[in-house]
Chain A
Amino acid sequence: MRQYRIAIALLFCGAYLCAYSQDMKGNKVPAVAIKTMNGILSNTSKFSNNGKPMVIDFWATWCVPCIMELNAIADKYDYWQKETGVKMIIVSVDTVHNTTTVSSFVKNKGWRYDVYLDPDKSFQEAMKVMDTPCTFVVDGSGKIVWMHNSYNEGDEDKVFEELKKITAK
């Protein structure tokens, strides 16, 4: 049994080092079926923006820093789109019974983001999101190039810097 546990531990360490050495930010967005607010199934691996970058943000209606971040980006979204062509994709991890809440919440805010629902957290788990808010910057080829957990005032500027780096290439 002891050898078995050691083997498992080594497996995880090896896998971690293997993944890390390959640059963890090179992964593509995994394929998970999630729904739009209208209940239409969509495969996350098909997220695209005509070769331009995307930001994928995991949030919830009860998450105060999530709302702060999304509000802050909303204030700058026009400028971001003009400069980088970015598309914001926000994924709510509210439970199913809050689906109508998400819809009304987003409409109330006037956010012009693509909104998806992940009530069973399958996409969240596939993206290894440990907490909300969690923000990913995805390049035009669909590869994750940057990610960040939590939000402090001004963190949205780092997202924009990453977007500019991509579009400058």
Chain B
Amino acid sequence: MKKIQLIVSLLFVSVVNAQSLTDGQLRGSIEIDAQTYRHDSLIGAPAVPEKMGLNSFAQLDYTNGKISAGIRYEAYENALQGYDARYNGQGIANKYLRFADSTIDVTVGDFYEQFGSGLILRSYWQYQLGVDNSIDGVRLKYNICKGISVKGVIGHQRYYWGEGAGIVRGVDGEINLNELIPHWDTIKTKIILGGSFVSNYQVPDNTTYNVPGNVGATAGRISINNGGFSFYSEYAYKINDPSVVNNYIYKPGQAFLLRTGYSTKGFSFSVSGESMDNMSFKSDRTATKNDLDINYLPTLPRDETYQLAQIYPYATQPNGEMGVDAELRYTLPKESVLGGKYGTELDAEVSAINALDTTNLNDLNTNRLGYSVNYFGVNSEIYFNNTTIELKHKFSPKFRMILQYVDEAYNKDVIQQEVGYQIVHCNIGIFDGYYRIASSNTLHFEFQELLTKQDQGNWAFGMAEMNFGSNWFAGLLDEYNYGNPIANQQIHYYTITGGYTKNALRVSLGYGKTRSGILCVGGVCRQIPASDGFSLSLTESF
């Protein structure tokens, strides 16, 4: 507590003197999200005793020359439904002091960091998901010479209003060959190499298993670019890390990523592949869900933008998965027969993610390695198959549209950890239109339909949103589960919303019903319970 008060005091002194320090800059941001809750047994909205929830934060950063400091105050009174109740309360969630010049960058306090793709270290804050695994400790970044940089971190991760049990230590180095080697800065091929090592120490206090106190992970990566060609690959290895997530098996973890592609104006093609095996890496072996993740396992499919396509989003499976993804983009030129006056954009993406090809070793009473993996085999168990085709066309300066078709197979049992759904097959059609009525009035409208014979059956979605001038907006949307096999579950989830936006200020007020489901960002997800009530959102920065 003394440390916090000291930093806050330092910041306060800086702020008070801000006007007298010509180079000092003060920046801040505020967000408030509130929701009222009405019990609605039909949609499954629970009775919430406090009747409303509120998530909010205010961030303040002060920079003067090479020194910067900041704090973030968070308040959850109580946390919105779907966020972990352990956030309930308020206080300073993040504070730091930093010195940075062109050679050295030192941070003391809470910070976010990522090595490579994050396969062995990524601390980040995703407010929408309720994820904050910041590291409270010390970070040092050092540019040894042009083309070579290293960074090191040490500290404990945030765990709601406390800190995780483990001490996270990590180093990362990166070499940009084109900057390092004389005369290579002019050659067309750009090559970057990187490597990192991360270790977590937690007292080995498990009474059942002989667990390692130190768990180490290492990763190497390479990036090559030449004109329109790009290539990125990363491999990570983690030693045995028995934990609740992997049922205390002693098998080492591995992850492999590969992305390559070619692009030129009007055309691009990319292919990605990945294999993840037992790569959950947390700073507490008893942690579950999104708690205390040291690393981040990226997902191949893109984040879905449209409402009905978000009903079945993919979540990365840390215990194991193997997948490929290919995407083709092509622009039919302007003033051509098919492209029309303004050109037409086509986009096709195919993703296939299956379980790893494993063999159960039946050794849970002996070595506890759990299973072996054939990395060159393909397991027939589908996790996620998706084909998306999108067409964008502008008809005139007033009217443009996006058409999208999605064919999806979704293993709901695995991805949402449910029982009895197995593979849900669905087809989704989307029409997204923008019509400019006047110079600053635009009507945005969407029609979507999801067809499936499984789970909750067919859905339809309609939305109309109007912008009045440059500051005001109002919208009405309805998500209708018309194909639900249970007659009284054929429900309209309607929402009416309106708001005001100017510069960095955005205020919106809504009323309506929200269906239950999961929200995913980059393969990391949280549950969204059904709700019925008013919502208020305010964001501002300065």
Residues of A that sit less than 8 Å from B by CB: 5, 8-9, 11-12, 14-16, 18-20, 22, 24, 27-28, 30-31, 33, 37-41, 43, 61-62, 64, 68, 95-97, 99-101, 103-105, 107-110, 119-122, 125-131, 134, 147-150, 152-155, 157-158
Give the Cβ gap from B219 to chain A, nearest Cβ, in Å.
Answer: 12
Known A43-B102, A96-B117, A149-B503: A30·B179 in contact at CB below 8 Å = no
B542 in complex: contacting residue of A24, A105, A157, CB < 8 Å: A24
Is B124 a contact partner of A15 (Cβ separation < 8 A)? Answer: no
A62 pairs with B467, CB closer than 8 A = no
- Going nearest first, the 7 A-B pairs with the smallest beta carbon separation are A128-B541, A104-B263, A97-B298, A110-B265, A107-B263, A108-B268, A104-B268
Q: Which residues of A contact B420 (CB under 8 A)?
A: none
Check B8–A96 contact: CB distance below 8 A: no
**In the bound complex, what is the Cα–Cα distance between A71 and B285 (angstroms)?**
47
Kindly name the residue among A11, A101, A107, A127 whose own CB sees the greatest number of chain B CB atoms within 10 A. Answer: A107
- Name the A residues within 8 Å of B447 (CB-CB): none
Among the 9-residue stretches B20-28, B236-244, B372-380, B474-482, the one with 4 or more Cβ atoms under 8 Å from chain A is: B20-28
Cα of A18 to Cα of B18 in the assembled complex, Å: 9
B residues with a Cβ closer than 8 A to A are: 8, 12, 15, 18-19, 25-31, 58-61, 63, 73, 90-92, 100, 102, 105, 112-114, 116-118, 124, 141, 143, 149, 176, 178-179, 190, 192, 223, 225, 228, 230-232, 257, 259-270, 272, 298, 302-303, 305, 327, 329, 331, 400, 402, 432, 434, 436, 439-440, 442, 467, 470, 501, 503-504, 506, 522, 539-542
Majority-rule SS of B interface residues: strand
14 contacts between A and B (CB under 8 A): A5-B91, A8-B92, A12-B28, A12-B60, A18-B26, A24-B542, A27-B27, A95-B118, A103-B263, A104-B230, A149-B506, A149-B539, A154-B436, A154-B440
Given the interface pairs A39-B176, A41-B149, the reply to whether A103 lies near B60 with Cβ below 8 Å is no
Q: Which residues of A sit under 8 angstroms from B259, Cβ to Cβ?
A: 97, 100-101
Contact B261 A104 (CB under 8 A): yes
A147-B179 contact, Cβ under 8 Å, with A12-B73, A105-B268, A128-B541: no
Asked if B27 and A153 sit within 8 Å, CB to CB, the answer is: no
In angstroms, Cα B62 to Cα A71, docked, is: 35
Report the bound CA distance from A100 to B91 in whole Å: 39
Closest partner residue, chain A, to B257 (CB atom) = A97
User: In the complex the two chains form, what is the Cα distance from A5 to B29 in whole Å?
Assistant: 18
CB <8 Å contact, B225 and A38:
yes
In the complex the two chains form, is A30's CB within 8 Å of B25's CB?
A: yes
B304 to A, closest residue via Cβ? A62
Cβ of A14: which chain B residues have Cβ within 8 Å of it?
A: 15
Cβ of B61 and Cβ of A126 under 8 Å apart?
Answer: yes
Whether A22 and B19, one on each chain, are in contact in the complex, defined by CB atoms closer than 8 angstroms, is: yes
Assembly CA distance A97 to B276 (angstroms): 14
Q: How far is the CA of A30 from the CA of B98 in the complex (A)?
A: 14
Which of B61, B105, B190, B501 contacts A39 (CB under 8 A)? B190
Cα distance A155–B178 in the bound complex, in angstroms: 40
Asked if A15 and B260 sit within 8 Å, CB to CB, the answer is no
Residue pair A108, B28 in contact (C-beta under 8 Å): no
Question: In the complex, A149→B503 CA distance in Å?
Answer: 6
Alpha-carbon gap, A164 to B439, bound state (A): 19
Interchain CB contact under 8 A, B232 and A99: yes
Known: A18-B18, A100-B259. 13 other contacts (CB 8 A): A15-B26, A27-B27, A61-B302, A96-B118, A100-B260, A104-B261, A108-B331, A110-B265, A125-B59, A148-B503, A154-B440, A154-B442, A157-B439
Selected contact of A108 from candidates B266, B272, B506, CB within 8 Å:
B266
Given contacts A15-B26, A30-B27, A158-B470, A96 and B264 within 8 Å (CB-CB) = no
Q: Are B522 and A103 in contact (CB under 8 A)?
A: no
Contact of A104 among B124, B141, B270 (CB under 8 A): B270
How close is B519's CB to chain A, nearest CB, in angstroms?
14
- A158 — which chain B residues lie within 8 A by C-beta? 470
Chain A residues positioned under 8 Å from B117 (CB to CB): 96-97
Chain B residues in 8 Å Cβ range of A104: 228, 230, 261-263, 268-270, 329
Chain A positions within 8 Å of B302 at CB level: 61-62
Bound Cα distance A39, B434 (Å)? 36
Contact between B298 and A100, CB atoms less than 8 A apart = no
The distance in angstroms between the C-alpha atoms of A39 and B31, with both chains bound, is 33
CB atoms of B114 and A96 under 8 A apart:
yes
Bound CA span A149–B504, Å: 6
Query: Which one, B141, B149, B436, B542, contacts A128 given CB within 8 A?
Result: B542
Among A99, A149, A153: residue with most chain B CB under 10 A: A153
Q: Which residue from A109, A120, A130, A153 sits with its C-beta under 8 Å from B114?
A: A120
Considering the chains assembled together, what is the distance between the CA atoms of A134 and B539 in angstroms? 13
Q: Nearest Cβ distance between residue B191 and chain A, in whole angstroms?
A: 9
Q: Which of A15, A22, A40, A130 has the most CB of B within 10 A?
A: A15
Q: Give the complex CA separation of A11 and B333 in angstroms.
A: 55
A100 touches B261 (CB 8 A): yes
Chain B residues whose C-beta falls within 8 Å of the C-beta of A101 in the assembled complex: 259, 261, 270, 327
Known contacts A96-B114, A105-B268, A107-B228: does B19 contact A18 (CB below 8 Å)? yes
Q: Find out whether the CB atom of A153 lies under 8 angstroms from the CB atom of B434.
A: yes
User: Chain B nearest CB: distance from A150 CB in Å?
Assistant: 6
Residues of B within 8 A of A43 (CB): 102
CA distance A31 to B385 in the complex (A): 43
The distance from the CB of A16 to the nearest CB of chain B, in whole angstroms, is 6
> In the complex, how many angstroms separate the beta carbon of A79 from the nearest chain B beta carbon?
15
Contacting residues, chain A, for B436 (C-beta < 8 A): 153-154
The complex places the Cα of A20 from the Cα of B149 at a distance, in Å, of 38
Which residue of A12, A19, A38 is within 8 Å of B27 (Cβ)?
A19
CA distance A109 to B321 in the complex (A): 33
A18 to B19 alpha-carbon distance, docked (Å): 8
CB distance from B94 to the nearest CB of A (A): 11
Q: Is the CB of B29 within 8 A of A110?
A: no
Contacts A64-B402, A152-B467; is A15 near B503 (CB within 8 Å)? no
Task: Please indicate the chain B residues that have their CB under 8 angstroms from the CB of A16 in the complex.
Answer: 28, 30, 542
Q: A96-B114, A101-B270 are in contact. Are A128 and B29 (CB under 8 A)?
A: yes
Residues of chain B lying within 8 A (CB to CB) of residue A5 = 90-91
Q: Evaluate whether A130 and B440 lie within 8 angstroms (CB atoms) in the complex, with A18-B15, A37-B225 already known.
A: no
